[in-house]
Amino acid sequence: MTLASGLFTLTSTDPLTPASLEAAARPVDVVVTPDTEHRVARGRAFVDRCLADGRPVYGATTGFGPLVVFDGRADDEDQCDNALQHLTAGQGPDLPEEVVRAAVLVRFRSLSHGLSGVSTAVFHGLRNMLATSFTPAVPEFGSVGASGDLVPLAHVVQALRGVGHAYVDGVRMPAAEALALAGLTPLALSGRDALSLVNGTSVTTAAAGLAVASARRSLEVALALSALLTDLLGAAPAFLSPHLLAAFGHPETAWAGRRLAHWLEGTVPTGERSLQEPYSVRCVPQLLGAAGSALDWAERTVRHDLGGVSDNPLFFADEDLTAHGGNFFGQPAAFASDTLSMAVTQTGNLAERQLDLLIDPNRNAGLPAMLTPHAGAQHGVQGLQVVATSVVVAMRRACVPASTQSIPTNLHNQDVIPFGTQAAITALRQARSLRVLHGCLGVALRQAAHLRPGGATAPRCAELVDALAEVVEPVDRDRPLDADIRAAADALDRFVDDRLADAAAAPGNPG
Distance CA 482, CA 443 (A): 10
Distance CA 421, CA 140 (A): 9
Domain termination residue (choose one: 149, 182, 200): 200
pLDDT tens, 492-510?
A: 999 999 887 665 555 555 4
- Residue 505: predicted pLDDT: 56
- Which secondary-structure segment (H or E) carries 171? strand 171-174
Domain termination residue (choose one: 200, 231, 258): 200
Q: Span 23-49, mean pLDDT?
A: 94
Pair 230, 329 in one domain: yes
Asked if residues 313 and 192 have their Cβ atoms less than 8 Å apart, the reply is no
Phi-psi region of 93 (alpha: psi -120 to 50; beta: other; left: phi over 0): beta
Q: Span 378-393, mean pLDDT?
A: 96
Pair 90, 55 in one domain: yes
- Residue 383: predicted pLDDT: 96
- Residue 77: predicted pLDDT: 79
Among 327, 51, 317, 328, which Cα is nearest to 191's? 51
The alpha-carbon radius of gyration of the chain (Å, integer) is 26
Among 282, 334, 288, 314, which Cα is nearest to 145's? 334
Domain termination residue (choose one: 175, 200, 225): 200
Query: Strands of 171-174's sheet, edge to edge?
Result: 135-136, 165-168, 171-174
Pair 112, 28 in one domain: yes
Q: Which pTM does this prediction carry? A: 0.94
b/e map of 249-262 (b: 16 or more CB within 10 Å)?
Answer: ebbbbbbbbbbbbb
| Least confidently predicted of 22-36, 351-365, 397-411, 451-465 | 397-411
Would residue 405 count as lying in a domain? yes
pLDDT exceeds cutoff 70 at 271: yes
pLDDT exceeds cutoff 90 at 166: yes
Distance CA 117, CA 44 (A): 4
CA angle 97, 126, 101 (to 5 degrees): 15
Residues 6+ apart with CB under 8 A from 108: 12, 30, 123, 126, 127, 130
Asked if residues 79 and 125 have their Cβ atoms less than 8 Å apart, the reply is no
Pair 287, 338 in one domain: yes
Question: For 258, what's the count of Cα atoms within 13 Å in the CB-facing half-sphere?
Answer: 16
pLDDT tens, 96-146?
A: 999 999 999 999 999 999 999 999 999 999 999 999 999 999 999 988 888
Pair 238, 346 in one domain: yes
Average confidence score pLDDT of the chain: 92
Q: At residue 472, what are phi and psi to the nearest 5 degrees? A: -130, 115
Among 413, 329, 335, which Cα is nearest to 144's? 329
Pair 194, 212 in one domain: no
Question: For 441, what's the count of Cα atoms within 13 Å in the CB-facing half-sphere?
Answer: 35
Among 141, 137, 173, 142, which Cα is nearest to 158's? 137
Pair 307, 389 in one domain: yes
Would residue 63 count as lying in a domain? yes
Pair 386, 492 in one domain: yes
- Residue 14: predicted pLDDT: 87
Q: How far, in whole angstroms, is CA 491 from its chain's centroid?
A: 19
58 is a catalytic site residue: yes
pLDDT exceeds cutoff 50 at 241: yes
Pair 383, 488 in one domain: yes
Q: Span 368-374, mean pLDDT?
A: 94
Catalytic residue among 8, 58, 315, 495: 58
Distance CA 23, CA 250 (A): 33
Whole-Å CA distances, 438 to 224, 267, 344: 10, 22, 12
Domain CATH code at residue 216: 1.20.200.10
| Least confidently predicted of 48-62, 173-187, 319-333 | 48-62
Domain CATH code at residue 115: 1.10.275.10
Asked if residues 206 and 103 have their Cβ atoms less than 8 Å apart, the reply is yes
3-state SS class at 414:
strand
> What is the span of the domain harbouring residue 141?
2-200
Pair 356, 393 in one domain: yes
3-state SS class at 70:
coil
Among 202, 218, 150, which Cα is nearest to 333's? 202
Q: Span 285-290, mean pLDDT?
A: 98
Asked if residues 391 and 348 have their Cβ atoms less than 8 Å apart, the reply is yes
Distance CA 434, CA 46 (A): 48
Whole-Å CA distances, 105 to 52, 206, 446: 31, 8, 39
Pair 157, 16 in one domain: yes
pLDDT tens, 70-101?
A: 777 777 777 788 889 889 999 999 999 999 99
Would residue 317 count as lying in a domain? no
3-state SS class at 276:
coil
Pair 248, 108 in one domain: no
Q: Span 223-231, mean pLDDT?
A: 98
Asked if residues 38 and 47 have their Cβ atoms less than 8 Å apart, the reply is no
Would residue 316 count as lying in a domain? no
- Residue 3: predicted pLDDT: 40
Would residue 511 count as lying in a domain? no
pLDDT tens, 474-484?
A: 999 999 999 99
**What total of structural domains would you count in the chain?**
2
Q: Span 420-446, mean pLDDT?
A: 97
Asked if residues 166 and 104 have their Cβ atoms less than 8 Å apart, the reply is no
Would residue 494 count as lying in a domain? yes
Distance CA 451, CA 445 (A): 10
